[in-house]
Amino acid sequence: MTVEGVPRPIVFIGDSITEGWGDARPGLFAAHGFVNRGVGGETSGRIRARFRADLVAAAARGVHLMCGINDIAEVEGPVPLGRVQDNITAMVAQARDLGLPVWLGSVTPAAAIAWNPEIMPGPAIAILNAWLKDLAATEDARFADYHGVLATPSGALRPEFGTDGVHLSDAGYRAIEPVLLAALHGRDRAS
């Protein structure tokens, strides 16, 4: 699909993990015509507030959504997982209202949050990822399990794939690209 001769993009919406992906791997984004709308530090609520506008402004043909770690890290204070789930469910519904396919990226692994050491994120990440996988199945979306590629057996981010235990290095982004491309290919075949 094109708009005035320009292919419509898949828009990547999320937090700093998404933002960093476009910065670390611009060739991937350029080669596939992806548009990056990741904003560091944003929670699912902040992402939800701009979600529809970002999709419309980019004339999206699909959306890749990955968020939740900043909610778990309590960037803006404690947030019940139910609220995170409500925000993500609402964003999937908005994408569906726009007629767009959705790819849901898992929350990437973290054993600790350097800027909030009292938080032990592993259990919340596991719960949210299981829920995201189920949501994808019920909403005819695709789930991209980045966590499985990046995690140690204990659920931490593998050191060679991260910069601070949460954010991904270039090697981390390279490691998840096959997962992304497989999810996109699977979705395109189903379309």
Contact present, 157 and 166 (Cβ < 8 Å): yes
Q: What residue numbers bound the domain in which 57 lies?
A: 10-185
Reported residue count of the chain is 191
- Number of domains within the chain: 1
Could you read off the pLDDT tens digit of each residue along the chain, which spans 191 residues? 544 556 899 999 999 999 999 999 999 999 999 999 999 999 999 999 999 999 999 999 999 999 999 999 999 999 999 999 999 999 999 999 999 999 999 999 999 998 899 999 999 999 999 999 999 999 999 999 999 999 999 999 999 999 999 999 999 999 999 999 999 988 433 33
| Residue 24 falls inside a structural domain | yes
| Residue 44 falls inside a structural domain | yes
| Residue 4 falls inside a structural domain | no
| Residue 17 falls inside a structural domain | yes
| Residue 2 falls inside a structural domain | no
Among 186, 3, 6, 36, residue whose Cα is nearest residue 101: 186
Among 69, 14, 18, residue whose Cα is nearest residue 176: 18
pLDDT at 190: 33
pLDDT at 186: 82
Reduced to 3 states, what is the DSSP secondary structure of residue 70? helix
| Residue 1 falls inside a structural domain | no
pLDDT at 4: 58
Q: pTM for the full model?
A: 0.93
pLDDT at 2: 47
| Residue 3 falls inside a structural domain | no
* CATH code at position 28: 3.40.50.1110
How many CA atoms lie less than 13 Å away from 47 in the CB half-sphere?
37
| Residue 120 falls inside a structural domain | yes
Among 114, 103, 115, 109, residue whose Cα is nearest residue 76: 115
pLDDT at 96: 97
